[in-house]
Structures are given as C-alpha cells and as structure tokens.
Structure 1
Amino acid sequence: MEKLVEYYYYFFQGMYEFKESNFLSAITFYQKAENTIPYISDEIELAEFYFKMAEVFYHMKQTHVSMHYSSQAYNIFKTHDLYSVRRIQCHFVIAGNYDDLESHEKAPPHLEQALKGARLLESKNKRIYGQALFNIGNCYLKMGELTKAAKYMEKSILQFKKSNFNNLTKAYHDLALIYFLQHKQEQAMDCFRKGVRFACKFDDGLFKIMFEGLQALFVKKGEASILLNVFNKLETSQGYPYMEELALLAAKFYTEIGQMDDSVICFKKMVHARKQIQRGDCLYEI
C-alpha cells in the first residue's frame, strides 16, 4: 500500500507539472513513479502511465523514447473497448513523433485511424473529433499539401466552435498561415483577425505572440526587427517549441525572397530553440 501511495503521489505530481508545461519536472516525477511500477498490477493503470510518459517525451522532442512508451500504451488500450479516446490520443502522439522524425508520410495512416474513431464519438465528444481533423490538417501543412490542409483545418474550426474550445486560436493561426502561403490575402487576414480575437478571449499569451510573428512575416512583409522581438518573447520553456516552429517558417520565408542573412539568423534561432527543448537530457535526477 505504501508503494501504491508513493506511485500515485509522484504520478499526479508529474501530471500537474506537465499541465503547467514544466516538462523537465514532469519527467522527474514520472521517473520516480516508474520506480514503483512493479507494484502496479492493473493493466489500464500501466497504460495510463505509459501514455503520460509518451506525451511528455513528445513535448521534449525525445522522439524515440516517446514512440517506445506510446506503442506500449496503445497495445494495452487497443484491447479495451472502453478506452477509445486514449487509443485516438495514442495515434496523435505516434503521428506527431513521425512528423518530428520528418517521416511525414507515416503520420497520415495513424491520423486517419484517429479520425475514424473520433467520428464515432462526434455526438459525445466534439473536441476529440475537432482535434483529429486539426491534426490531419496540421500534418498536411507540414507536408506542404496546403489545399488538403486548409480543408481539414476549416472542418476542425467548425467542431471547435460547437464546444467553444480554446484550440480555435491555434486552428485560426494555422489556417491564416495556410492562406498566407497560398497568397490568399483576404482569407488569410480574415482568419488572422478572428484568431487574434480568440487569443484575447482565451487570454492565450503564446498565440498572441505567434500572431505577431505572422504579422511580421506576411503583413509587414518580413520586418526582421519585429520578428526578433517576437523571438525574444518566446525565450521561455513554454515558448521554445513555438520559437522553433516560427523560426523555421521565417527562415524559409527569407530564403524565398533572397534575404539570406535574415534566413541564417532564423535558422540559428531554430537550432537554439531545439537545443533548449532537448537540454533536459543531462538534467534528470540520478
């Protein structure tokens, strides 16, 4: 009983730290919980633990470790009919890891499986259905298939609106980006303005900054001084994943318009952000 209490203490503490985006602290608590795993006999409890490990390592860009835990979680959840949402979420994590590995072609089959399962839950769980649509759209965006990406992103927005889900902010951000890349300025600005309104409504500080980044690139036509200020605002543990994403986008933007000095600066910012995300490797408690 003492070991079970110890397990739940560390496990729930890890969940709290993860929710606060303190991923290194979350991993530290999860690893302490893992020491008591031999005392956990319930299969679903094990699956929940593996899923949480997969989730936090995904956010820390520890891709192969995340894949290991997500496959363990999925192999348990798939044998239990009542855990359809967790199966869907496992597919999300696996697909996200494939995207991080630049194996984008391997992600859509998992996302299609997730969408198939989420569609069955549409009447009960509009958020998970919206998230499935959003993730497919985001994957196609990364693959450069902008027309497909826009189609799924638009559908996800319709679902998120039904539940007033704060993912509306990110969905409008990504759809604005897609339209900017397609040179559909009017549609892009419409999504941009709506996204900013939802960022204010949900008090989403990170995406207020990300919209500043879009503005610097596509409205101010690549205003480098504004963009550097945006990068400075993203110099936080929560902001580094967004800095990595924005810096890569900006580097490609500047390369296309021939501003190679600015492109190099942005690539360096991307590498810096990625190192900051991964730097926890050497900081775990032993």
Structure 2
Amino acid sequence: MASSISPEKLGAKIVEWYSCIVSREVEQAEEYKQEIGQLVNQLERSDEKVLSYYSLVLFRHQLLTEDVQQKRVEPTYLQAINAETTVYDGLLAFLYYFMSGQYEFYEGRYQSALRLYKIAEQKIDHVHDQSEKAEFYFRLGESYFRIDQYTFAVSYLEQAIDLFEEQQFYLERILNCRLLLAAIKTELNLFDEAEKEYQSALADATPYPTTHALLLRALGLNRVRQRKLYEAEMYFVEALATGEHAQSIAGMKTMADLANVRLRQNPNNEQAIALLQEAKAGVTAIGNEEYIVRCAITETLYINEGRDERLTSELQRLLEREFYTEYSELAEEIAEYYKQQSLFEKAFYYMKEALHYRTNMKILGSGAEQQ
C-alpha cells in the first residue's frame, strides 16, 4: 500500500518544483513534475488550495516546455482550480491571472493577456520571490511590445532587468529583456542603437543556445525592417543551425521568415518554396494564426504573383483576431511588392492601410493601459 503525504509536505514539494521552473532548470523541473504527479495521488486528505497550486504550477511547467504552445497537451488547468478558494488567496490569485494571461498571449490575444496581467499586478505584493516578480514584469513588457506601446514596454523591461540583476544565475533572462529593448529600437527605426544592443547581447549569449538563436532571429528581423534581405537571410540560417531552435515554435516562424526573404529576392527559388511549405505545415499544425497568414501572403505574392481577393481575405483574418500590428507589417510588405511592380495605386492603398492600423494600434494600446 502506497504511503500518504500531507498537504503541507506536498505544498513544500510544489514550491521546490516551482522554483526550478522560475529559474528555467528544465531537467530538474521535469524530475519534480514526475515525482509530484505521483504524490498528488497519495494526498492523505483533500486540500483545494494545494490542488489549485499544483494545477497552476503544472500549467507553468507546460508553458516552459512548450507543451501548451505546440498543442501537445490541452490547457485544462482552469477546470481543475477551485475559483472560490483561489480568489481569497493572494498568491494563488496572482498565479491564476498570470498563467491565464500567458495562455492568452501564446494564443495571440495580446489585449486580453494585458487585461489579465493588470489584474495579476494588483496581487503582486503577495509574491515574495524577486525572480518571479522579474519574470512577471518581463511578460508585461513583452505584451506591451506586441501592441506597440513602447513606453510601457521599456518601463516594465527595465524593472525586470533591475530585479533579475539582484538574483544569481539570471543572465539569460536579462538577455531576453535586452533583446526586446533592441527590438523596440528597431521598430522606432533607431537602427544604430539597436545594432549595438543586439551585438552586445549576442556576445554574452554563447552559453545559452536558445537565447542565442532568438537573438540571431531578431537580428534577421532587424535586417528585414531595413530591407537588407540578404543579411536577414544569413541571420535566419544561422539561427536555425543554433541549438534546438529549428524544432521550436520560434524556429517554425524563422523558417517561414527565411522562405519569405529568399522568395522576395528570387521567386523561382525551389528550396525556398519547399521551405515555405514545411513552415506552413508546422504553423498550421499548432494553429498559429499569425504565421498561417504570413505563409499564405508570402505564397500569394511571390509564388502566385499576387491575387487581390486572397490577400484581402488573409488580411481580414488578422483583423478578426485583432492582430493589428501584424496587419500593418504585412500591408506594408504588400505595398512594397506592388511598388516594385509599378502598380502605384495598389501600393498606395496598402501603405495607407499599414499606416492606419499602426496608428490605431497605439490608440488601442493606450486604452489597454487605462483598463
């Protein structure tokens, strides 16, 4: 007969597991997950608070390992949580809204993610782990970045860096923050400043292949922004050859971006066409709406030589999901395509669309901060 475990001892084990997740010690976190999964079945008496804590930490683990993002598991943690118990416990309430916000973020619902994060922020005093606070501020900054609210993004990212610097062994998370700060400078067309930040972070990222690859990918996107497509191609190729980037969700996006820049340079590139189809299959399998549309538009422009009806329908999919920043970026790319074809009326229309939604995104983002 299996021995039982008290809620108090199980709770202490979950704290240790959670600490590994926060510090991104994947192998040790996986060991705790297996052990605690068995201990839950040996709980000597039901305890809603401990079971809610277990469900939230399990979901956090699944986010760390990309099980949720890659649809390997269903996010059933919400159903396992007793909301009445959770809402009266400050730390559990924080985790509940933080995890719910992260799920919304990974589903591409950035405004919804921010609304949940702002509720979690009201519970931040219940969080005593400084590294967890830093992680939360990083996620807030990341969300504001995705809706073009750069002032708020910078503020939260700088808070995250300050807190991470107080802890040991968090250089990789600081690099992630610096990556976003450099990306903001890229979006503001401060390319020289962005380049210094990227190269400085890249020099420190060698021991961290996951982040090293993300920095290379970011440098590729930086070059796309400057329309230096060959340089972008080189960075994307290097990113895909680094660590396990090619097997990650970010790697699927990099494959799609690499196919895009190659086809923009040479629409007859057979390798790029095959790569695009591979990327398309990957993002379709995980339901990544943004990159499903990006792949479709790349295919429409550079392989099928532009079909207005399909371009319109694909862009409409972005609007339906409130992907306004992505809409703006793709409308700008379409405008450039038609400009190169000397179809100036169409180019003007799509450039006007790009400017309209980029402006609207800033207004909508301001609204999110007020909510």
Which TM-score applies when normalising by structure 2?
A: 0.67
Kept in 2: contact 1:28–1:285 (CA 8 A): no
- Larger deviation, residues 26-35 vs 194-203: 194-203
2:242 counterpart SS class:
helix
Match for residue 165 of structure 1? 248
Match for residue 28 of structure 2? none
Q: State yes or no: 1:46 paired with 2:133.
A: yes
Matches within 5 A, 1:19-168: 19-38=106-125, 40-122=127-209, 127-159=210-242, 164-168=247-251
Q: CA deviation at 1:6?
A: 4.2
2:102 counterpart SS class:
helix
Q: Where do 5+ consecutive residues of structure 2 fail to align?
A: 1-87
Alpha-carbon distance in structure 1 between the residues aligned to 2:106 and 2:276: 27
Q: Structure 2 vs 1, CA of residues 83 and 5 (structure 1 numbering), >3 Å: closer, same or farther?
A: same
Match for residue 16 of structure 1? 103
Q: CA deviation at 1:150?
A: 1.3
Match for residue 367 of structure 2? 282
Q: Structure 2 vs 1, CA of residues 149 and 277 (structure 1 numbering), >3 Å: closer, same or farther?
A: same
Kept in 1: contact 2:239–2:245 (CA 8 A): no
Q: Structure 2 vs 1, CA of residues 273 and 201 (structure 1 numbering), >3 Å: closer, same or farther?
A: same
Alpha-carbon distance in structure 1 between the residues aligned to 2:292 and 2:104: 23
Q: State yes or no: 1:225 paired with 2:309.
A: yes
Match for residue 39 of structure 2? none
Q: Where do 5+ consecutive residues of structure 1 fail to align?
A: none
Kept in 1: contact 2:338–2:346 (CA 8 A): yes
Q: Deviations over 1:78-135 (max 9, x none)?
A: 343311221121012111211221212222222223333332123xxxx333222211
Q: Structure 2 vs 1, CA of residues 28 and 229 (structure 1 numbering), >3 Å: closer, same or farther?
A: closer
Matches within 5 A, 1:228-239: 228-237=312-321, 239=323
Q: Deviations over 1:134-190 (max 9, x none)?
A: 111111221222232111101112237666213333212211222233236324324
Q: Deviations over 1:43-85 (max 9, x none)?
A: 3233222212111111111011101111121122234331122
Kept in 2: contact 1:160–1:167 (CA 8 A): no
Alpha-carbon distance in structure 2 between the residues aligned to 1:30 and 1:100: 24
Matches within 5 A, 1:232-271: 232-237=316-321, 239-271=323-355
Larger Rg: 2
Q: CA deviation at 1:250?
A: 0.8
- Larger deviation, residues 109-118 vs 276-285: 276-285
Alpha-carbon distance in structure 1 between the residues aligned to 2:324 and 2:339: 22
Alpha-carbon distance in structure 2 between the residues aligned to 1:109 and 1:253: 30
Which TM-score applies when normalising by structure 1?
A: 0.85
Alpha-carbon distance in structure 1 between the residues aligned to 2:368 and 2:285: 37
Counterpart AA for 1:12: M
Q: CA deviation at 1:22?
A: 2.6
- Aligned counterpart in structure 2 of residue 183 of structure 1, from 260, 266, 269: 266
Alpha-carbon distance in structure 2 between the residues aligned to 1:214 and 1:70: 33
Alpha-carbon distance in structure 1 between the residues aligned to 2:332 and 2:186: 14
Alpha-carbon distance in structure 2 between the residues aligned to 1:142 and 1:117: 24
Counterpart AA for 1:209: V
Identity, % of aligned pairs?
22
- Larger deviation, residues 108-117 vs 81-90: 108-117
Match for residue 20 of structure 2? none
Kept in 2: contact 1:154–1:175 (CA 8 A): yes
Kept in 1: contact 2:213–2:245 (CA 8 A): no
Q: Structure 2 vs 1, CA of residues 198 and 35 (structure 1 numbering), >3 Å: closer, same or farther?
A: closer
Q: CA deviation at 1:276?
A: 5.1
Matched positions, count:
282
Alpha-carbon distance in structure 1 between the residues aligned to 2:174 and 2:335: 36
Match for residue 8 of structure 2? none
Alpha-carbon distance in structure 2 between the residues aligned to 1:36 and 1:196: 40
